[in-house]
Amino acid sequence: MINYQSQRGLSAIAWLVLLAVVGFFGLCIAKMAPVYAENYYIVNGFKSLTKQGGNELKNMRKQEISRSLSNYYSINNVRSPGAKELEFQPTSKGMLVINQYEVRVPLIANVDVVMSFFNVLDTSAPEECCGPPEEMLSGE
């Protein structure tokens, strides 16, 4: 008969499995967190542009917006190539500044993680900064 009172804790194999799972998720966090931090600074660059530009943001040219964002990225050490991928789309009320990019990070051997980011600044509505507008989400 087995005495269950004396059997406490995990076995050695259970500890190895637990460590492997914790190690895998730790590796994922270590590889992916810097990419999300870069995108956080890209979004903050858009937000600082709305605070800095105020009502003048509607009248800013593409070069002025690019230069202002480039200065912000330089000060905050944003080195991601995705930060420089700006697209400007004129609208009836102003301009959309679109920053859409993907980052591929090698995880283990030949396994990569692909992260997609889509940030939009509407110069006619700067208070709604940084998420895609509703009409872009609905596909209209």
pLDDT digits (tens, 9 = 90+) for 62-80: 898 899 999 999 999 888 8
Residues of the chain with pLDDT under 70: 1-7, 53-55, 132-140
Question: Per the confidence metrics, is the pTM higher than 0.75?
Answer: yes
- pLDDT at residue number 140: 46
- Residues 83-95 pLDDT 10s: 888 999 988 888 8
Q: How far apart are CA 116 and CA 103, in angstroms?
A: 7
Name the phi and psi angles at 86, rounded to 5.
-105, 140
Per-residue pLDDT at 25:
96
